[in-house]
Structure 1
Amino acid sequence: MEQTTGKVILVTGGAQGLGKAISHTLAELSGATLLIADIQQEKAEAVAAGIRQEGKKAVSVKLNLCNEKSIDDAVILVREQFGRLDVLVNNAGVDVTKPITEMSVAEWDSVINVNLRGPFLMAKAFLPMMAEQGSGHIINIISTAALRGWTEASAYHASKWGLRGFTQALFTEARRSGIKVSAVIAGGMKTPFLLDRFPDLDQSKLQDPANVARTIRFLLSQPPETVIPEVMVLPLQETSWP
């Protein structure tokens, strides 16, 4: 099994929902340090504090994925305080639920900028550090929205289909430097991302985000010579798939 002791792990969108579940789950790895990165710094710090109360290591990082300087600052912080980054989980995501004819260009751009441009900028920023190490693992959180389409979610679909393609291309480039890249295609979860917008959803058809987080921990447990490039994690009674 791969050595999982002492990893430095950065999770974008770590302040709530799946990001929070990922952060708590990966903090259980021996000696791991979690960097809870989010534009909502107070919420991110609350997650980090909760992990520290459990005797684990975590810090919060204010991160705006739409701002290149914010990402550059995060790279400087990681290099100066930790000297390395072993795992990058690109989890942050947003959506605008509107018909195409009612969606503004600014709304379209906001979804693409966070969901697709953000992971590109993060990978571009941290790949050199991982290449220096000769190791690292980038995990992009995608969605069943990358495999089919439904109404009033055009920007979200475009971003997630694009992210899946970007992840496959990144896999081929990063492995030349010993860096692993994986895509996690997650089905519906009991998180604010869905429930705040669709409070009437049948939660019995959704999964606990901790289940997806445990799958990510499994990805990190593979031997150094093995990578899982893509995995799908669905609620058994998923209504949007197939």
Structure 2
Amino acid sequence: MQTLTKTANSIPSLNGKVAIVTGGARGLGAATCQCLATAGLNVVVADLRHELASDLAQEIGASSGSAMALNLDVTSPTSAAALLDQVLDRYGRIDVLINNAGIDVTESVEDLTHDQWQQVINVNLNGPFYMSKAVFPAMRENGGGHIINIVSTAAKRAWANASAYHASKWGLLGFSQALHVEGRPHNIKVTSLIAGGMRTPFLLERFPDIDQTTLQDPANVAETIRYLLMQPPGTVISEMMVLPMKETSWP
């Protein structure tokens, strides 16, 4: 029987690469920033909550990691472009984009306002488009890169009082798959990471009585992101689902 030996060159080094994490100040974003910094990446903590982002960047720096905090409004194409300019000025390159920023409004279709609908769509769907559009040329000129879009089981199933969230995440999954097709000729990998419920403020602040045993540690999902980034150059995982063992929205 033939045995396959994995060479050291088949696993890419993440050391020194530059990653932008949107919504990076807390929750999954913060866990991802910490995980990637530990793996040797230069991490950009991109968030509207600049004070929280700065605190996290300082914490990472104190642990011998490399991080900088930048203000970002993902609903603004101007803000997205300005952030990229700052990253290129500092590092001269961008290798990884994690489109993580997201919001939800728990209301029925009848009670959901037009403004609330637009807000969810702007953050969850327009934001990844603006950010991906901003980084795509820089990644192409750099010979490649990796964009990971944090989707949700809300892109696979539906439940009540989350119509805007479902629409945004189904849309993000479609956008991500289309971007995957466009990126491949330029060595730009694109992954849709479909994450189940996590113990983060996103859920805990809105549902304080939720059974936390049905949720997963965001650090586990962050490790999945690191794993995705470490695939050999000739391989891309275009879609992956990572669920807590007691996931309630999936069999």
Residue identity over aligned pairs, in percent, reads 54
Shift of 1:141: 0.2
**TM-score, normalized by length of structure 2?**
0.95
Instruction: Report deviation, 1:101.
Output: 0.7
Paired letter, 2:180 = F
Q: Counterpart amino acid of 1:18?
A: L
150, 153, 156: which is aligned to 2:159? 150
- The one-letter amino acid of 2:104's match is D
Equivalent pairs counted in the alignment come to: 241
2:209 to 183, 200, 207: 200
Shift in Å, 1:239: 1.0
Between Structure 1 and Structure 2, whose CA radius of gyration is higher? 2
Find out whether 1:112 has 2:127 as its counterpart. no
**Secondary structure, counterpart of 1:101 in structure 2:** coil
Instruction: Pick from 19, 30, 33 the counterpart of residue 9 of structure 1.
Output: 19
Mapped to 2, the partners of 1:158 and 1:84 lie a distance apart of 33
CA distance in 2, matches of 1:67, 1:141: 19
Matched AA of 2:153: T
Paired residue for 1:24, among 13, 24, 34? 34
Which structure 2 residue ranges, 5 or more long, are not aligned? 1-10
**Are 1:223 and 2:232 an aligned pair?**
yes
For the residues of structure 2 that align with 1:66 and 1:163, how far apart are their CA atoms? 14
Match of 1:100 in 2: 109
1:79 aligns with 2:84: no
Q: What is the CA–CA distance in structure 2 between the aligned matches of 1:11 and 1:186, rounded to whole Å?
A: 16
Match of 1:163 in 2: 172
Q: Displacement, 1:182? A: 0.5
Structure 2 Cα separation of the partners of residues 209 and 94 of structure 1: 16
Structure 2 counterpart SS, 1:137: strand
DSSP-derived class of the 2:119 partner: helix
TM-score, scaled relative to structure 1? 0.98
Aligned residue for 1:90? 99
Distance 2:115 2:177 in 1: 28
Secondary structure class of the residue paired with 1:212: helix
Q: Deviations over 1:1-26 (max 9, x none)?
A: 12312110100000100000000001
* Paired position in structure 2 for 1:43: 52
Letter in 2 for 1:103: L
CA distance in 1, matches of 2:158, 2:215: 18
Distance in 2 between residues matched to 1:14 and 1:20, nearest whole Å: 5
Give me the whole-angstrom Cα distance separating, in 2, the residues matched to 1:69 and 1:168.
25
Q: Deviations over 1:55-109 (max 9, x none)?
A: 1110001000111211111111011111100000000000110011111111000
* Helix, strand or coil at the partner of 1:184: strand
> What's the C-alpha RMSD, in Å, of the aligned pairs?
0.7
- Structure 2 distance, partners of 1:101, 1:122, is 32
Which stretches of structure 1, 4 residues or longer, exceed 4 Å deviation after superposition?
Answer: none
